[in-house]
Amino acid sequence: MRRVLRPAGLAVAVGLLTTGCTEGGVFDTLNPKGENARIIDDLTNFIGIAAVVVGIVITVLVTYVVIRYRTTDETYDALPEQVHGHTVAELTWTIVPAIGLIVVTVLSLPAIFELDSQDKDDITVLVEGQQWWWQFSYDLDNDGEYEIVTSGDIVFPAGQQVNLQITSNDVIHSFWVPELNGKKDAVPGLHTPLKLHADEPGVFWGQCAEFCGLSHAEMRLRAVALDDTDWERWVSEQTTAGVIPDGQDVAVQRGYEAFGQFCSSCHVVDGVYDSAYENEPPLLSGIAPNLTHLMGRTSFAGGIFELYNDDGTVNEADLLAWVRDAPGRKALAPDNQQGMTSFAEQLSNEQLSDIVAYLSTLGEAPILP
């Protein structure tokens, strides 16, 4: 048995060590790009170094004791010297760890309070986790009204703190953009605070960090920090309502009508289906992303498919495959309202292509740093 366990244990250890050798990974907790992440990084570095020092001291002492007082044939039956009631020793191993804990506490508390504090004048974004994607609703002037509702990409101005209120519409999720802050659980019925700050414009990857069901590993997001000019342009585009097709493009017009028939009971296009389909059944709240400015995002389907090819054209192949059979592209449970249903048996290839043509008209290309 030992002959089997030892190589297996060594293989596991080597595997764990090599996981830290990835270069250029998008989820890098040791590469802070904003004020909040730096607070965590500084505290982690101090505690980590202190832990290494303590570990070395203990290892040296234990090694010394093992070697210095090892049993010999002459001392095998001898009773070791007893230290029970040794006041100095007992005070030392009580006071020294207590001092260490006090130091860690004194350094940790200001960091915790700073990370939890929010300035009421900063932009507020409601972050809603849902199996298996993220929705972001922007209260730009803190009047309690959400002027922008989007998903997949959380866009914000670089160099400014942005207040997040994190919650969930179903199960517990966890919002995590490691280069900008620590993770924060998204709990149904609760709004928990978090802040985002990026020093410079850039794109930072995020991920749900709490197991939440079938597609937990495919519940991703991107935090996009823009300079002031691009931020103002993004807000202007996102606050523009959708437009009803004028009928000049026949495929787009057919796609618009098919979308209204098969998709608008779950998806919203502001200014279009909240007016053109007044007699339709009410929208089912929280089931599907708002698609008003779909083309202004970098990805879809919970961040697992790119919306654009490398040459800047719309990724129609993946978009068409997703509309046709979403459960075949990502683990979903549409019967429980957990993800999109399949239209492979309901819609013809022409109808599916028409819907993709219509989706491709929803919004401008994404604004990226």
Give the per-residue pLDDT at 273: 64
User: pLDDT at residue 276 above 50?
Assistant: no
| C-alpha angle 225-230-235 in degrees, rounded to nearest 5 | 90
Give the per-residue pLDDT at 234: 97
Residue 317: pLDDT band with limits 50, 70, 90: very high
Non-local CB neighbours of 368 within 8 Å, separated by 6+ positions:
203, 224, 298
Cis-peptide into 132, omega within 30 deg = yes
Give the per-residue pLDDT at 24: 61
Separation of alpha carbons 239 and 115, rounded Å = 30
User: Whole-prediction pTM value?
Assistant: 0.84
> How confident is the model over 75-93, as a mean pLDDT?
79
- Residue-range domains of the chain with CATH: 28-116 (1.10.287), 124-238 (2.60.40.420), 250-359 (2.60.40.420)
- 11-15, 75-79, 169-173: which is most confident: 169-173
> How confident is the model over 264-277, as a mean pLDDT?
72
3-class SS letters over 287-308: CCCECCCHHHCCEECCCCEECE
Residue 8: pLDDT band with limits 50, 70, 90: confident
User: pLDDT at residue 282 above 50?
Assistant: no
Q: How many CA atoms lie within 13 A of 354 on its CB side?
A: 22
> How confident is the model over 275-280, as a mean pLDDT?
45
Listed residue (26, 217, 223) closest to 132, CA to CA? 217
pLDDT tens digit sequence for 109-166: 999 999 988 888 889 999 999 999 999 999 998 888 899 999 999 999 999 999 999 9
Separation of alpha carbons 90 and 309, rounded Å = 67
pLDDT tens digit sequence for 227-241: 999 999 999 999 998
Q: How many CA atoms lie within 13 A of 84 on its CB side?
A: 2
What is the overall mean pLDDT for the chain?
88
**Strand pairing category for 184-186 and 153-157:** unpaired
Non-local CB neighbours of 187 within 8 Å, separated by 6+ positions:
167, 168, 172
What DSSP designation does 338 have? B
Are the CB atoms for 190 and 167 separated by under 8 Å? yes
- Structure token digits, residue 230: 């691009």
Are the CB atoms for 58 and 207 separated by under 8 Å? no
Residue 20: pLDDT band with limits 50, 70, 90: low
